[in-house]
Structure formats: C-alpha cells, structure tokens
Structure 1
Amino acid sequence: MLEELMTERRRALITGITGQDGGHLAEQLHEKGYEVFGLIRGQNNPRRVEVETDMPYVTLIEGDLTDPTSLVRAVETSDPHELYNLAAISHVGYSFKNPTLTADVTAKGVLNVLEAVRVTGRAQTTRIYQASTSEMFGGLDYNRPGAGYNENSLFHPRSPYGVAKLYGHWIAKNYRESYDMFVSCGILFNHEGERRGVEFVTRKITHAVARIKLGLQPHIELGDLWPKRDWGYAGDFVDGMWRMLQHDVPDDFVLATGETHSIEEFLTLAFAEIGIDDWKPYVVQNPAYMRPAEVDILLGDPTKAENELGWRREVDFPGLVSLMVAHDLAVQSRQLSLPSA
C-alpha cells in the first residue's frame, strides 16, 4: 500500500503547526518532498506571521480541535496521506489551572480528529500519528521498571494533562482496532530544543541564562529542582514520528534517550555555557511554580523503536543544553543590537 501511495507527491496535515514539534516536523517533511498543510487557530493567531515567515512552504488551514466541522474541512482540503496530531494543551502546570479546557482539547480533540478522518471516507487511506506522552506513566516508583518505561508499562497519570493524553492514547488505539485505521501512538519522553516555548522549564532556563550573561536580568525563578527527566532533542524525536507512519503496521512506540537528568544538572550545564560555575546565587525557588502533584522521575526505554524503526537519537544531553543556550544568546544579542523605536 505504501509503495502505491509513494507514486504521487505525499501530502501531510499537521495539527499544532505553531508548536515546537510542528515546526521541526514541517521542516523535515518539506525536505523529504512532502506538500505540507498546517492547522492553525484563527482570530488573528499571533504565531501566524512567524509560521508564514519561517515556513513559507506550509499551507495553513484555519481550524480548531474543539470544532469537528473545521477538522472535517481541513481533512477534505488537504486530503492527507499522513496526519500528525500534535495539537494539545501541552503544559503540565497550566493543565492544573485549566483542567476543563485541557480535557476538551487534549482528550476530546483527539476523538474529533479521528472522526474527521473516518467520516470523510479516509479511514483506510490516511495514516495517523497520535502524540502520546511519558506523562501518562506518572513516574511512581512502584510503577517504574528499572530499565525505564516501555510500551507495556502501566499508566498512572498525575496531572490533568497526563489524564487527558491517556484518553487520547486509548481512543486512538480503539479506532485502530475498531475501524482498521492506521493509527500509531508515539509515547514521547521530554524533548526540547530552540523552538521550545519559554514557559517550559528548559527553555525558561536557557532564555534566562542568556539574559543574565548579557546583563538583562539578575536571576531566574523556578519551582522544584530535584525532578529528573529523560531529555532529548525535538529534532531527533520528530524523525521518529515520521518513521512510525512508514512502518508496515500501526503500533505504539516509546521514544526516549534511556537516561535521566535533574533540573539541577540542566542548570549546571546551562550556566557553565556562560562561564558561571556556581548558579545558586542566580536561582530563586518560588512556591508558585511548584505543582500539586509532581512526577519525581521519568525514564524511557526506546528499545522497540530502535529495533523496529531504526530510530536513534543524535543529540546528547550536554549537546542539547549547549544548542539551546547558544540559540538564546544569539537571539538576545540580536535584539540588543536592534535600534530602539
């Protein structure tokens, strides 16, 4: 079937085109010769100009995961061979403050995407990637295998975000089994990079470190520093997404690095990039950034993806931190040199 589809130019629809993963994926698909469509929320979306400037090869379609009609229209317009559902309320802390919105978008939105493909008659012709997450595991010690979570590990989400993602994961599997749809779920562990939003702790750190280096701010406020995460580079992970949809059969795959690092370790490497060995005077812990329930450690086992998809991560942890700090230093320095209005 895939060989037959490859006789024409491949078309891909990406929801969440304005996010970190959407940007990396669109770039990689374009380089592979795909015609790329991106779903974007309307009403003067502040990210539209950025996407149109950075990715002029993407055809934008207005729509919303909470609006089934707009999703049907987007699927009919793009007629995709591949659909990557990356859109979500994706910030764990935000999900505690807005659990209903998180459920509507991150959980029910997946159902709306699947239904849009099914009711438009594309259940057997459109391959779907569903962005699942390591937050579904919850990080509890009694539920964490020593070698890391894999595709058979138990789920115990500890945030409204994790719970919503778990619904999306299971409804995707249900449509795979009920309607014989090609739906693969990528259970991705933390992946960061230069496109990460500054509301996420890794980018918040590298953004602040760059500004501290340039004398633009005195310190950074953070919550708990002890949690450990399996951190990889987003550019590597979106390659894994693509590989899942080129696989012979739909399935679930964990993408991870197989190693964990704490926020303290991230801080140490980030400040070292600007020549500061002792970061403690520059970090203030603020209880406002501490969550009602925190996941202590998340470690993934990518063995299945490595063996069946041939996927490998290329950027290691120190390389990731260095890449992000260098990017933010360049951005902040460039803004400093701009003439004032």
Structure 2
Amino acid sequence: MTKRALITGITGQDGSYLAELLLSKGYKVYGLKRRTSVPIMENIQQIKNEIEFIDGDLQDLSSLIRAVQVAAPDEVYNLAAQSFVATSWEQPVLTAQATAVGVTNMLEAVRIVKPDARFYQASSSEMFGKVVETPQKETTPFYPRSPYGVAKVYGHWITINYRESFDMFACSGILFNHESPRRGVEFVTRKVTDAAARIKLGLQNELRMGNLDAKRDWGFAGDYVKAMWLMLQQDKPDDYVISTGETHTVEELVEIAFNHVGLNWRDYVVIDPKFVRPAEVDLLLGDCTKAKEQLGWELEVGFEQLVKMMVDSDMEKIKKNG
C-alpha cells in the first residue's frame, strides 16, 4: 500500500526537500499551508501538482484535526514554526503560540484522529543556546537564549511527553543549522550569499552584518531531511542530534562566499550593531554519532560546497529575475 505523509511547513526550505524525498519514495504527500492572499510556492513550484494541499494553522486545533482526517497519514512531519530567531524577540507571543503550543495542537490532532501515525518534531540546536558542554549531544542540557529557543524546548519536551504518556511513535530531530538555496534571504547564510552575488553584479554596495565571530555547525538541508525520514523508519521512537560535527564562524561563511565571486569581503562588509542579538549564542557544535550509528545517516555536502552552491544559485536567480 502507498504510504501517506502529512507535512506542516511544506512550502519552507525543509518541507520542500522532504516532500521531494517522500515523492521519490512513492509516498502520497499532503501539505498543510496557511491561507495567504498570495500563495508562497517558490520552493515547491516543481512538485506542487504532485502534492495535495490542506489549509490549516498550527494555532487552530480544529483545522489540524480536519487535516489529519483528510490525510489519514502514516507519518506526520511537523516542520512549521515561526523560525526566524531575530523575529522571536519582536514577536515573542506569536513565537510561543506557533512554535511551542502549535506542537501540542499537532500532537493532539494526531492523538485524537490517527494515534498510530508516526510523528516527527523539528527540534533545534538553538535549544542548547548558552552551551554547557561542547560538542552538544542528545543528553546535553538545554539553555536557550531566545524566545525561539525557549519555544523549541517546549515543543521538544511536549513531544517526549506524548511519546511516554500515550505510547505514540513520536521523535524529535535536534537539527543544527542547515541551509540551502531555498533558505529565506532573512537568514544569515542567504543574506551573505545573496549579497555577494548582488555586489558582484553591481546591484548592491555593501553588506551590513552583526557578530562575525559567532560559530555554527552548518549543513545542507537536503541531507538533513533524509535523517527525518530515517527516524520514522526505526523500530522504536527516539531523539537524535543531526549535525556535521564541524563549526565555522560567520566570518568564514562571508569569506568563502565573496571569494567565490572574486571579491575581498573586507571591502564591502560593515558591522552594524542593529544586527547583534540581545543574547548571543556564541558556539554551536553537534555530535551526531548516535544518528550515524543507529540510523546509518551520512552527510553528502560539505560546508564550502554548500556556500558555493548557494552563491551560484543566487547569481542565477538575480540574472534571471533582475
């Protein structure tokens, strides 16, 4: 029988790569999307006719119950969230409602309608925040440093609670930063690669940045969605750190991007205090040993290859669209 999957946040970066992966495996894919006056379909343009969309919102339990009734999924991937860390300080209540309570709503809908469905929750390395040990693994205590990180901790623990309280197959993937050409331009990686392309093409004069010393563990989103799928194929539900095991500074990111188009980043980058977080997360570095050993998950795209891929994609988009 054809497996059925319901993906929340299907129009986002991770949702689009996951939908492609599941379609390639013969799944019937349903995508939950919020109703907007102008549909946001850029990331899934190439597969939108293969997906059945259901209108719904993580803050509206009744819409989620209907979505699970319609999809009757074997697997549910909860990727939707208010996921931009900077915005979480400006809209902390919305972030709590969507990124924290929204997880409970989705779990409740699954528990009520399709309790045998396997559930994946998108947890985040931002939960580690002010890290208490390096590298961070599944047993590392959380110390979130943003409303987004706090909300993700709630979502993570409520998933564990439903697993233990209701015997649901519910997993969390603690994903470290993962990027791609489909990442929103407000995120630092796309901000940098888009700016490098625009400056090279004479469409922009400078790039304003915050803390260049912050260190992150950056991987390719296309690799990370494979880990999500693998988690739901196991005999028992569990939580896994997904990362590269390497850390790079924002400055390294900038240098690779600008070098790739033949520019010296120091000629164009301006440090702007406006882009410094109220509470900075200085270092994130994941230990994905458990995922490699138990899931058989492997990385395919390295950091430098990822940055160059994103710059090339932005160059093509800008030349095509102006």
Shared fold, TM over 0.5: yes
SS at match of 1:56: helix
Matched, 1:316 2:309: no
Q: Distance in 2 between matches of 1:215 and 1:54?
A: 33
Q: Aligned ranges for residues 264-303 of structure 1 at < 5 Å?
A: 264-276=251-263, 278-303=264-289
SS at match of 1:311: coil
Q: Give the match for residue 148 of structure 2.
A: 161
Q: Distance in 2 between matches of 1:159 and 1:250?
A: 28
Q: Shift of the alpha carbon at 1:219?
A: 1.1
Describe the superposition over 1:147-184 as per-residue Cα deviations: whole angstroms up to 9, x where unpaired.
x1110111100100000000000000000000000001
Q: Give the match for residue 126 of structure 1.
A: 117
Structure 1 stretches of 4+ moved >4 Å: none
Q: Shift of the alpha carbon at 1:72?
A: 0.3
- Aligned-residue Cα RMSD (Å) equals 1.1
Q: Distance in 2 between matches of 1:266 and 1:48?
A: 28
Q: Give the match for residue 50 of structure 2.
A: 57
Check conservation: 1:14, 1:37, Cα contact below 8 A: yes
Among 133, 138, 155, which residue is 1:144 paired with?
Answer: 133
Q: Distance in 1 between matches of 2:20 and 2:186?
A: 23
Residues 52, 329 of structure 1: alpha-carbon distance in 2 compared, 3 angstrom cutoff:
closer
Q: Aligned ranges for residues 36-75 of structure 1 at < 5 Å?
A: 36-48=29-41, 51=44, 54-75=47-68
Q: Give the match for residue 3 of structure 1.
A: none
Check conservation: 2:120, 2:228, Cα contact below 8 A: yes
Q: Shift of the alpha carbon at 1:43?
A: 3.4
Q: Give the match for residue 250 of structure 1.
A: 237
Gaps of 5+ in 2: none
- Tell me the amino acid that sits aligned with residue 17 of structure 2: H
Q: Shift of the alpha carbon at 1:55?
A: 2.6
Among 100, 113, 116, which residue is 1:107 paired with?
Answer: 100
Describe the superposition over 1:272-309 as per-residue Cα deviations: whole angstroms up to 9, x where unpaired.
11012x21121111111111000000000000000000
- Tell me the amino acid that sits aligned with residue 281 of structure 1: D
- Tell me the amino acid that sits aligned with residue 241 of structure 1: M
Q: Aligned ranges for residues 1-80 of structure 1 at < 5 Å?
A: 8-48=1-41, 51=44, 54-80=47-73
SS at match of 2:49: coil
SS at match of 2:232: helix
SS at match of 1:296: coil
Check conservation: 1:27, 1:55, Cα contact below 8 A: no
Q: Shift of the alpha carbon at 1:53?
A: 5.2
Among 194, 199, 207, which residue is 1:212 paired with?
Answer: 199
Residues 54, 329 of structure 1: alpha-carbon distance in 2 compared, 3 angstrom cutoff:
farther
Q: Aligned ranges for residues 228-247 of structure 1 at < 5 Å?
A: 228-247=215-234
Q: Determine what percentage of the aligned residue pairs are the same residue.
A: 56
Check conservation: 1:229, 1:298, Cα contact below 8 A: yes
Q: Give the match for residue 86 of structure 1.
A: 79
Q: Give the match for residue 196 of structure 1.
A: 183
SS at match of 1:211: helix
Q: Distance in 2 between matches of 1:291 and 1:52?
A: 34
TM-score (norm 2): 0.98
Q: Distance in 1 between matches of 2:124 and 2:290?
A: 16
- Tell me the amino acid that sits aligned with residue 119 of structure 2: I
Q: Give the match for residue 307 of structure 1.
A: 293
